[in-house]
Structure 1
Amino acid sequence: MFFRQFFDSTLSQYSYLVGCQKTGEAIIIDPARVLDEYKAVADAEGLKITHATETHIHADFASGLRDVSRKFDATLFVSDEGDADWKYQNMPKDTVFLNGGDIFEVGNIQFEVLATPGHTPESISFLLTDNGVDEPMGIFTGDFLFVSDVGRPDLLEKAAHFEGTTEIGAKDLYDSLQKIKKFDDHLQIWPGHGAGSACGKSLGAVPLSTFGYERQFNWALQSPSKADFVKEITNAQPEPPNYFAQMKRVNKEGLPAFNLKDVPVETPETLNGQVFDLRNSNAFADGFVRGSINIPYNTGFVKQAGWFIDYNQPLTIIGKQELSEQYQKDLASIGFDDIARIVPEDSIESLVNDSYEKVSPETFVDKYENANILDVRGQGEYDAGHVGHGIHRHHGTMRDADIPFDKNEEILVHCKSGGRSAIAVSVLKARGYKNAKNVLKGYDGFKDEIEVKK
């Protein structure tokens, strides 16, 4: 048997390629939208991608499931669990719909389907047995069971706005965990995400685990009662990015095939509509095109873009033209394919018509008692300690959040260390808040010098 785990560090997402070396068949589990890497590995191993499946309708990335069918003529296996609201639509005619207890094979590799609802109603897991071996080797758990954590049950309510589903999901998740407690300690756990994903509170960074390890150290498998579990799993989950709602819809209904295109490289006299400036925050602060949003192109780009991207508008990118293909692949991973143009970052001097000031921690300490303070950290960070009279708004809500300050007043904007607040200032400037300023080094830079409240 051939086994390969893939990790998309931009979204903290795991996917898998499993192949039968005897028959040459292979299956992708939870495929990302860009399929190049799977194809390259399969070709190198002499395998043909003949099947694909996924553990549930994903909320945090755009699925490549249907593209596997289109590009490789592969047979798809998807969940038929859950209610009518979360059934897959527009699937190929030969799609196989799965329920708990079903078994399918890829070559000499057997997959047993386990219904594991909780994160979502349709969530399933796959117990893998290499035929010829008497016991299962491991289980693909998707967003059900992670290393050191379990999937959150509140996304249908918080992201997709299905009211009342959080507590139902939490109870289902507890029941699903009871089902798997029978497994032997040696069973490997192959999760759908790692540390950094917003699909749980405290995911481990280790790429896989064993059931014995999780039985001993994963809090969710040690919860003494369903009531205690529900209380813990529904408390203090991180804010889901805005794009999650879009992903649940398009992964349910389907996306067009992803293909690279020639994106125009040009510098028009004016930039209208949705504009992302991908330069670092210092370069942006020194001079930018009014109305553009600064999302630096680094390892956090995709997650930050997901907070602010408008799926109904084409996008202009101010960045590096030689990175066109990578920009397309990155944004395709969250289901956005409409990059209208790339404006080379070294050609925008004539377009620059705005800037913003940066404030040192020392200046903040001198001014904070009488200042308008906007704290743009997450709710958990804010609850752990904050400036008493500061206003709290999550940075990802800046496009629409109510900001109780006059647009001409000075606003000192801070996060934990200065990165998210720089993005927030760019959005505020785009909204017409003329005197928004970024506090360098953020809360970490000034917390020891002022009185904080909890």
Structure 2
Amino acid sequence: MPEDLMLFRQIADPELSQYAYLVGCQRTGEALLIDPERDIDRYDRLAADEGFRITTVAETHIHADYVSGLREFAERPGVRVVLSKAGPPEWQYAWVGQGRAEYLLVGDGDRFSIGHIDIEVRHTPGHTPEHVVFVVTDRGSGADRPIGVATGDFLFVGDVGRPDLLESAAGHVGAMRPSAVQLQASLRQVDAWPEFMQVWPGHGAGSACGKALGAVPMSTVGYERRFNGVLSLARDQGDAFVDAILDGQPAPPPYFARMKQVNRDGAPLIGAVPSPPRLAIADVAGRPELVVLDTREDRAAFMEAHLPGSLHAPRTRQFTAATGAYVDPGQSMVLLAEESDVDRLVRQLLRIGLDRIEGWIAPAELDRWRADGGATSSIERISFSQAPQPGQDGTWIDVRSAAEFAADHVPGALHVPQSRLAVEQARVPRGRPVIVHCATGGRAALASAFLARLGHDVRYVDDDFARWRAQARQEKVGTT
């Protein structure tokens, strides 16, 4: 790479659909890291492989979906930590000054540099009150206009950040609509940004930090101004934008509220990523306080036999959906996982603040345990055609989103989104079977395991909801 060109790397976490950014000055070897997660060793390795050292770390806002890595970097002398000073007192960083790093608190219009790269700060409240974006100009290559902007959760590809989380996740009653109004005002800044400027978002498709994020990893201001419908709506007067941005937002996972507090107050330090020991099933048998995270992808195999009280937490992107919804940070966990997956899964747990990992068990151990007569549990697995009729034997639990439920649902079904089931578990009646379903069986599998752990008599519907819809239509035709 020519010495006068800026280094740029987007670093993705596919499980959380999260992006961090490494921006480096070739002339000085200094690098800026924006919005890192908690396990910071991987950023160090990337920078070192490229011949850089991370001298400045910054974040766009107090994150709700993962533990920030800035508190870890703050322990290093010679590192500068850049944090927003905007927003009300209750959303100021409480850990400023801790560790051995230098701190730089920034607001709208402030500037700082990394070697020959200039960064300008813009305050963009709405997603959160303190949110800022970082506009990057590669002065070392002779540029006098910005190349890109790290937008955090302000502007995504095809969408914008959700303004409801202070209320829906953090519990600040009445904050939702004023935040949406604030977001609309902030989005109007984008009209003044140069069309050629690249947009480097904090998340991609699959993140719960927006409604309809695009799968393309980055964009340009000009493209978003033309084709981002929500951004275009922000230019309008009246309540159309506010109503649209608040309508249909997915229920936030319960761990979001905890993440906001942890990142505001300062996350516990982890240092090196731990390597939990391998355990035998005999080490965990008879310890109901432990949460066994069964990471096998085959949900039929899980339903057939699993260690009593296990959660179904597949090694896919559903792993965080299960653990973030159903595991409390005070609970100790054991992974049932292949050795090759353990490090990645440990990192995923650490990133959402679940630190008490006692060890791991190989899935082959479960097979031997069963063969030797060891105790296992099972959950009845049925199709829609095998399920009891609504109102007969059992309570139907629909764990799909609110929008899916509103479009069509089993008559009389109790709606509790999968991500909110732990918070709203008291709504699930006891003393009769519960029939749990979603759209295709994935979310219902997570929910069924959780309800079984709580002692419910569960019937898991491993089926496509479209079949129930077709079956219901056929029955309706047959009665007319």
Say whether the fold is shared (TM-score over 0.5).
yes
Describe the superposition over 1:287-344 as per-residue Cα deviations: whole angstroms up to 9, x where unpaired: 2233222212222212321111101122222333453322221111112211023233
1:327 aligns with: 345
Residues 1:65 and 2:70 aligned together: yes
* Post-superposition offset of 1:54: 0.5
Match of 1:11 among 7, 16, 19: 16
Q: For 2:124 and 2:274, how far apart are their aligned partners in 1?
A: 39
Match of 1:111 among 110, 116, 119: 119
Q: For 1:375 and 1:303, how far apart are their aligned partners in 2?
A: 16
Describe the superposition over 1:186-233 as per-residue Cα deviations: whole angstroms up to 9, x where unpaired: 111111001100001011111111111111111222222241111111
Q: For 1:397 and 1:139, how far apart are their aligned partners in 2?
A: 34
Q: Is the 8 A contact 1:127 1:136 kept in 2?
A: yes
2:257 aligns with: 245
Q: Is the 8 A contact 1:197 1:203 kept in 2?
A: yes
1:225 aligns with: 237
Q: Is the 8 A contact 1:23 1:107 kept in 2?
A: yes
Percent identity between the aligned chains? 38
Q: Is the 8 A contact 2:325 2:421 kept in 1?
A: no
1:339 aligns with: 357
- Give the aligned CA root-mean-square deviation in angstroms: 2.0
Residues 1:315 and 2:333 aligned together: yes
Residues 1:260 and 2:273 aligned together: yes
Q: For 1:323 and 1:271, how far apart are their aligned partners in 2?
A: 24
2:146 aligns with: 136
Which residues in structure 2 correspond to 1:165-314 (within 5 Å)? 165-223=175-233, 224-258=236-270, 259-266=272-279, 267=281, 268=283, 269-275=285-291, 276-279=293-296, 280-314=298-332
Decide which moves more: 169-178 or 41-50. Answer: 41-50
Which ranges of structure 1 fall in alignment gaps of 5 or more residues?
Answer: none
SS of residue in 2 equivalent to 1:402: helix
Rate the CA distance shift 1:351–1:420 in 2: closer, same or farther, 3 A.
Answer: farther
Q: For 1:69 and 1:214, how far apart are their aligned partners in 2?
A: 35
* Post-superposition offset of 1:122: 0.2
Q: Is the 8 A contact 2:39 2:273 kept in 1?
A: no
Whichever residue aligns with residue 249 of structure 1, its letter is Q
Aligned length: 450
Whichever residue aligns with residue 303 of structure 2, its letter is A
1:443 aligns with: 465
Rate the CA distance shift 1:46–1:135 in 2: closer, same or farther, 3 A.
Answer: same
Whichever residue aligns with residue 273 of structure 2, its letter is L
Q: For 2:408 and 2:87, how far apart are their aligned partners in 1?
A: 40
Q: Is the 8 A contact 1:116 1:124 kept in 2?
A: yes
Decide which moves more: 190-199 or 394-403. Answer: 394-403
TM-score normalised per structure 1: 0.94
2:92 aligns with: 87
Describe the superposition over 1:30-84 as per-residue Cα deviations: whole angstroms up to 9, x where unpaired: 0111223322221122111100000000001111112223357411110000000
Which residues in structure 2 correspond to 1:417-428 (within 5 Å)? 417-428=440-451
Which ranges of structure 2 fall in alignment gaps of 5 or more residues?
Answer: 1-5
Q: For 2:426 and 2:71, how far apart are their aligned partners in 1?
A: 40
Q: For 1:15 and 1:338, how far apart are their aligned partners in 2?
A: 25
Which residues in structure 2 correspond to 1:370-409 (within 5 Å)? 370-371=392-393, 372-399=395-422, 400-407=424-431, 409=432
Q: Is the 8 A contact 1:119 1:152 kept in 2?
A: yes
Whichever residue aligns with residue 454 of structure 2, its letter is R
2:133 aligns with: 125
SS of residue in 1 equivalent to 2:344: helix
Whichever residue aligns with residue 148 of structure 1, its letter is G
